[in-house]
Amino acid sequence: MRDRTVKNKNSIPPSLQALLDARLHDPFDYLGLHSHPRGWVLRVFLPYASKVEYWADQWVPLDKTHTHGLFEFQGTGSLPPLPCRLRHEEDGQSAETWDPYSFSPLISDHDLHLFNEGRLLRMYDMLGSHAVTHQGISGVRFAVWAPNAERVSVLGSFNHWDGRQHPMRARGSSGVWELFLPLLTPGALYRFEIRNRQSGQILIKTDPCGQSFERRPGTAARISPPNTFPWSDALWMQARAHQDWLHAPMNIYEVHPGSWRKPGGDDTFHDFNTLADMLIPYLREMGYTHLELMPVSEHPLDESWGYQTTGYFGVTSRYGTPEDFRAFVNRCHRAGIGVLLDWVPGHFPRDDFALARFDGSALYEHEDPRLGAHQDWGTLIFNYGRNEVQGFLLSNAHYWLAEFHVDGLRVDAVASMLYLDYSRKAGEWIPNIHGGRENLEALAFLRAVNWMVHEQFPGAVTIAEESTSWPMVSRPIYLGGLGFSMKWNMGWMNDTLRYFSRDPVYRRHHHQDLTFGQLYAYTENFLLPFSHDEVVHGKKSLLDKMPGDTWQRFANVRLLFTYQMCFPGKKLNFMGNEFGHGLEWQVKQGLDWSLLDIHWHQGLQRLSRDLNWLYRDHPALHELDFEAAGFYWIDCDDADHSVLSFVRKDRNGACLLVVLNFTPVPRFGYRVGAPTRGYWRERFNSDSGFYAGSNLGNGAGVEATDIPWNQQPHSLVLTLPPLAGIILER
């Protein structure tokens, strides 16, 4: 029965005034279905509706009790069943829905507790937007963390982007807000409108846990469908879990997905499906074991290369949907290619639509710029000491590994995370509680990430881009290390490129640049990188770093790759290095593949391919990368001739003899010590005519004599081609 009590429409209750002012903290306490002294009342706020009806065995109209869109129905007797079914008219169109404020909460108190402790590894299942069925009704659940908000609303085309219409439910002191919107479907764009509790400032923010976003320059998140991808990489995942990666080959091809190949102009990109069609066959032909993708998380600025992320859980819309990326990884795995992702937990951009001062306070960052501002990049530093922030990043690492089956994370800018005084002058930083410069919270976070990855995802690796002498980066946590699988050997890379950039006539004075690396080569599990950072910002391409005429420059690069492949450590090369890209990398331009019409570039690409396969096929070049037993010098002191010779061994004692000539002067009759007698076959020669070299060498091979040399019982008399390396196998 309906109560026809007359109301004074000129008196506005405080809750209604707060609703109209978009300040209502607890909309569920006012909107929806509530007990009433004479029965019950149903309140619905639809400011764009001309008529609202409620289903009670028939459609019953609600009274419009305020001109701005409040509709009410007062009934007697017991409360009707929930949720409440509604029908409303707007712009002459009628639509049926369910009252969002008559649904119960979805997020459990247990999950909220784990979230506040930073221990909810699948936080991405709780926060963000998710298509679900709740109380028998399909729709989308939204949730966001904004503890300093007075009010948070969902915005979208489904509510005219009006923050008054769908204010969210505050979940106690957790700082989490949630709302279920019935009948909403994936694909819709949305944002959050946040009103700060202290200042009253209104902020429009994209979803920190959004899993899909609109194409830049738009910044709205997009509701994603549930993950139902039919994975078919079970054999790969099972093998990965049992792989002895420490003793396996790892040769990584680093790629920026948007510029490896371009379909057209600067602002065009191949999607993941097309990229897979082209890239995977190339990786297989060239013999790479792994693909490392520069960040594929959502970012607004192409020129940031993805390292200034605004959507940590979103696959960038430049290259397709999350489903497309899953299919890409799946195809890589089925082709025998591992997939690594660049991951950026060290800093985030100041864009006002994203994480920066998310709820009007320094939520993800530090309030004090001496802790929270990254001076080199103009970005903000995560507050690793806050449980929820650490949980956000832990969950993000978990997300890429669990939801996309990636095989590891290359963690960007680790050095900047370790030190409180990184790139800061005296007085511009705050010491830790012990008075030191170490960032203790960041250390705890990095150890937590590495522990989680190795515990939850057997066979997955973590790689630190760390450029300082911080000890035990790739040593186990229980021994006091940071727990990374590997560390980039930045010292080796810098020494090597500095040496190769010198005119060969001066190299004899800098021989130690090539030998010094062996003094620390086994203190960490090192990866030898020639990454994108070495071919940008005026550093020149690898080819242009080399001195001499065209022949010498290409010979130097061939020698560089031979040296890299034979030196202990896993390998990484940036796209284009393998065929001698002549220009610095430009993010807006695709690689110049037409260079492969020129024999110099063809030869270098062939050399890269053959070296890659030799590295994979011969255990001596990879089995003992991280152990001193896998390497010993034959002669590291011949600076006068700029020649190095050494042996690489596998666990069974099989060995390769490597001899490198770093000058353009051929060496005839050059004697080198050999560990055993017999015939030594020339397995590889970087000066081969097949690689556009001068084709000088030792034919099929050389017989070892019993003349001791270089503290070895036997020796070989070799012809050393100019600016070249040879690899001999007994």
Strands 189-196 and 128-134: unpaired
Cα separation, 334 vs 326, in Å, equals: 12
H/E element holding 395?
Answer: helix 387-404
- Give counts: helices (H), strands (E), the chain: 15, 36
Give the other-Cβ count within 10 Å of 395's Cβ.
25
C-alpha 91: how far from chain center: 45
Helix (H) or strand (E) holding 390: helix 387-404
Helical segments of 507-628, H only: 512-515, 542-545, 550-566, 599-617
The Cα 376–Cα 373 span in angstroms is: 9
CA–CA distance, 392 with 705 (Å, rounded to integer): 64
| Active-site annotation holder among 111, 233, 412, 524 | 412
| Residue 621, SS3 per DSSP | helix
Can you state the percent helix, strand and coil of the chain, rounding each to 5?
30, 25, 45
Is residue 91 part of the annotated active site? The answer reads: no
If 0-12 CB within 10 Å is exposed, 13-18 middle and 19+ buried, where does residue 617 land? exposed
3-state SS of 323-389 is HHHHHHHHHHHHCCCEEEEEECCCCECCCCCCCCCCCCCCCCECCCHHHHEECCCCEECECCCCHHH
**Nearest alpha-carbon partner for 367 in 395, 386, 393:** 386
Instruction: Say which of 465, 466, 495, 610 is annotated catalytic.
Output: 465
- DSSP code, position 518: G
Q: What's the rounded Cα separation, in Å, for the pair 498 and 476? A: 32
Q: What is the DSSP string of 87-151?
A: EEEETTEEEEEE-GGGS---S-HHHHHHHHTT--TTHHHHSEEEEEEETTEEEEEEEEE-TTEEE
Cβ atoms of 402 and 322 closer than 8 Å: no
Helix ranges (DSSP H) in 438-524: 440-456, 490-500, 512-515
β-strand pairing of 93-98 with 149-156: unpaired
Does the annotation count 63 as an active-site position?
no
DSSP characters over 420-431: TTTT--TTSS--
Beta strand pairing call for 461-464 and 189-196: unpaired
Per-residue buried b or exposed e for 288-309, using 16+ beta carbons within 10 Å of the residue's own CB: bbbbbbbbbbbbbebebbbbbb
Residue 704, CB-side half-sphere exposure with 13 Å CA sphere? 22
The residues, ordered by sequence, that sit 6+ positions from 238 with a Cβ below 8 Å of its Cβ are none
Q: What distance in Å separates the CA atoms of residue 517 and residue 625, rounded to the nearest whole number? A: 13
The residue whose two tokens read 């908000």 is 149
Burial 33-54 (b: 16+ CB within 10 A, else e): beeeeeebbbbbbbbebeebbb
The residue count of the chain comes to: 730
For residue 356, CA distances in Å to 152, 367, 651, 699 come to 16, 11, 52, 64
Q: Give the H/E segment covering residue 461.
A: strand 461-464
CA of 526: how far to CAs of 411, 491, 522, 567, 622, in Å? Answer: 14, 10, 8, 11, 12
Residues serving a catalytic function are 412, 465
